[in-house]
């Protein structure tokens, strides 16, 4: 099995969701595809992606959905 993207957005929100998912015993991976040197912008918000193992999705899904509804 592979990694599955469960969130894409601001680093602050990604870290918040990461802590909620890890609290139930699921490992996460955050990828930062920072291209600020290639595409400079006025906005300094860093976009990141949060991944979990596909096999953990059914366990993590209630946490992910609750989080999405809260933002």
Q: Supply the pLDDT for residue 33.
A: 76
Parse the chain into domains and list their residue ranges.
3-70
The DSSP code for 56 is G
Residue 1: pLDDT band with limits 50, 70, 90: confident
Q: Supply the pLDDT for residue 47.
A: 87
User: Among candidates 21, 4, 32, which has minimal Cα distance to 66?
Assistant: 21
What does CATH list as the number for 3-70? 3.30.70.1530
Q: Supply the pLDDT for residue 10.
A: 94
pLDDT (tens digit per residue) in 7-49? 999 999 999 999 999 999 999 999 987 655 555 555 556 789 9
- According to DSSP, the β-strands at 28-32 and 3-10 are unpaired
């Amino acid at each position: 099995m592979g990694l599955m993207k469960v969130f894409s957005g601001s680093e602050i929100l990604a870290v918040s969701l990461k802590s909620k998912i890890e609290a139930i015993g699921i490992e996460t991976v955050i990828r930062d595809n920072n291209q600020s040197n290639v595409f400079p912008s006025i906005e300094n918000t860093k976009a990141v992606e949060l991944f979990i193992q596909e096999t953990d999705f059914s366990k993590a899904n209630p946490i992910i959905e609750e989080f999405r509804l809260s933002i």
